[in-house]
Homo-oligomer: A and B are copies of this chain.
């Protein structure tokens, strides 16, 4: 069974790079990857904050949030 992986980003260069090189490097046999652009989907910002996302790009694997480098603060996406 696949686990859910959510990659939150905001379209910034750091985000796009992490999406291409890291998020899409997850084992597709184990993860069902969802890409969420918080700039275009502001309605999902509260969900990201509730999951512990403090900056983007961030990868949510199960209940754990992994902030990858730094593109933008979640506060700037509200």
Interface size class of A (residues with CB under 8 A): 20 to 34
**A47 on the B face (CB < 8 A):** no
How many subunits of this chain does the assembly comprise?
Answer: 2
* Cα separation A28 to B27 with both chains bound (whole Å): 7
Type the 1/0 row for A12-44, where 1 means its CB is closer than 8 Å to any CB of B: 000001100110011111110000000000000
Tell which of B18, B31, B64 touches A66, judged by Cβ atoms closer than 8 Å: B18
Contact B26 A25 (CB under 8 A): yes
CA distance A37 to B66 in the complex (A): 19
* Chain B residue at minimum C-beta to C-beta distance from A65: B69
Q: Which residues of B contact A69 (CB under 8 A)?
A: 65-67
Binary contact readout A61-76 vs B (1 if CB under 8 angstroms, 0 otherwise): 1101111110000000
Determine if A6 is an interface residue (Cβ-Cβ < 8 Å): no
